[in-house]
Amino acid sequence: MQRRLFLAGLALAPISASLARSVPSTFIAPRLAKELMAKHPDAVILDVRTPEEFRSERIPGAINLPVAEIVKGKLPAQLDDKNRLYFVYCRSGRRSALAVKLLEALGFKNACNLGGILDWPYEIER
């Protein structure tokens, strides 16, 4: 557990001091994510589900980037800043956890796993 917290702290070092204190690991609860989204309007929300799933429902403002595209290294221009704050979600949390690991391997410093849209208690676009 201590090692995980230490590694999470290293991954979040580039974020401002106040943000780093409020995000202890790569998984982030919806309530805290919503607060951080309000404080950091330049943050990117990534939906790593399939395009069909994305069309059916999504978190407002999300960009669709299927996890398969991340595996291939095909990243859109919106992901040009590896120090920006990224919130990643899928349906249940499994694909988003993988996507966060892949993004971290590609050098992204501040990718947080929101888990699944099934657990998102706020507004959803349909």
Q: What residues act catalytically?
A: 90
DSSP-based three-state secondary structure for 35:
helix
CA distances in angstroms from 100 to 2, 23, 28, 56, 114, listed in the order given: 20, 15, 12, 23, 10
Contact 19, 12 (CB under 8 A): yes
Contact 76, 65 (CB under 8 A): yes
Distance CA 85, CA 116 (A): 18
Contact 47, 89 (CB under 8 A): yes
